[in-house]
Amino acid sequence: MKLSGKVALITGAGSGMGRAAAILFAREGAKVGVVDVNEASAKETAAEISKSGGAAFAMRADVSNSEDACAMADETARRFGGLDISYNNAGIEGEGGFLAQLSEEGFDRVIAINLRGVWLGMKYALPHLIKRGGGSIINTASVAGIVAIKGAAAYCAAKAGVISLTRVAALEYGRYNIRANCICPGVIDTPMARRVSEEGGVTSQSNNRLSVLGRVGSADEIARTALFLASDDAPFATGAPFIVDGGWVAR
Ligand SMILES: NC(=O)c1ccc[n+]([C@@H]2O[C@H](COP(=O)([O-])OP(=O)(O)OC[C@H]3O[C@@H](n4cnc5c(N)ncnc54)[C@H](O)[C@@H]3O)[C@@H](O)[C@H]2O)c1
């Protein structure tokens, strides 16, 4: 098992990639703090882990709220005796529309959850990781932080910001044996992707064409990348955006 004895906190773990990672990390021996703003969905993920003999607890937290972000790190460390892995994955797609049409509230909300939420997640996890003598931070960015997508100005800006925050975290905390990386997924079949997909659904021809493999990715494929970054398989990886997009950016 790749994560035995480790404690992980995963945000947005009630759905999609966060849920897949929570289940995989637990199967690999980690104790998991399953955090989501949607408490019922976090409980479902934690129950699924417990049913298979893993260790997890569910907690409601809004990652854009500093009290919640502090509480989720402290509570995970309190329950499981420390914290080794901080996976800041929660995010929203936000409202669509060209940038002159975006509402100020809509713009601010995407930045608050997708960018500030990642910063707060790291801010309150770091003291616990330092106390532990090291650890791994994984943030969810996106291909949208590298290429421009029409109708997603706030989302693209937030995800580019996550790549940048991750690099700074790697520089500042490398001396504490803390690695910080982010994952840039392409189109992945999750409830979010299904919500934003045009007619034809997430596996529509236009989505499939964004990958040179002719298909969209699965949440498990991203969870396996996160497992690699969380584990001792990636001891020299830090400060890097890991693009897992089926070749979208290479086109
Ligand atoms: N699906 C894709 O194609 C894709 C591609 C690139 C990046 N991403 C990113 O991957 C991450 C996970 O997305 P997903 O596709 O699994 O989506 P999803 O909607 O299935 O899951 C996201 C989860 O985050 C939770 N969440 C939302 N706001 C929150 C908040 N303020 N506090 C705590 N939890 C909150 C939601 O309740 C949900 O359970 C997001 O950051 C997203 O931007 C998704």
Angle between helix 16-27 and helix 39-51 axes, rounded to 10 deg: 30
Q: Is 203 strand, coil or helix? A: coil
Domain count within the chain:
1
Distance CA 67, CA 193 (A): 29
Position 42, amino acid? A
Distance CA 150, CA 156 (A): 9
Alpha helices in the chain (DSSP H): 16-27, 39-51, 66-80, 104-110, 117-132, 153-173, 191-196, 205-208, 219-230
Tell me which of 15, 72, 215, 244 to substitute to probe ligand 1's pocket, judged by most ligand atoms within 8 Å of the beta carbon.
15
Tell me, yes or no, if the pTM score tops 0.95.
yes
* Cβ 188 vs Cβ 219: under 8 Å: yes
232 in any annotated domain: yes
131 in any annotated domain: yes
Domain, as residue range, for 94: 7-188+217-241
Q: Return the pLDDT at 198.
A: 74
Distance CA 56, CA 79 (A): 10
Give nearest CA residue, ligand 1 atom 43: 91
How many CB atoms are closer than 10 A to CB 131? 12
Distance CA 87, CA 12 (A): 9
Give the total residue count for the chain. 251
* Cβ 233 vs Cβ 2: under 8 Å: yes
First to last CA, the chain: 36
Eight-state DSSP code of residue 176: G
Could you tell me the mean pLDDT of each successive run of 10 residues in the chain, 251 residues long? 98 98 99 99 98 98 99 98 99 96 98 99 99 98 98 98 99 98 98 88 91 97 98 98 98 89
CATH (domain of 161): 3.40.50.720
102 in any annotated domain: yes
23 in any annotated domain: yes
70 in any annotated domain: yes
Buried b (16+ CB within 10 A) or exposed e, 40-62: ebbbbbbebbeeeebebbbbbbb
Eight-state DSSP code of residue 175: G
| Ligand 1 center to 83 CA (angstroms) | 22
Which residues does a 6 A CB cutoff place in the pocket of ligand 1?
11-12, 14-18, 36-38, 41, 61-64, 89-92, 113, 117, 140, 142, 185, 187-188, 190-193
Q: Return the pLDDT at 200.
A: 76
49 in any annotated domain: yes
170 in any annotated domain: yes
196 in any annotated domain: no
* Cβ 3 vs Cβ 30: under 8 Å: yes
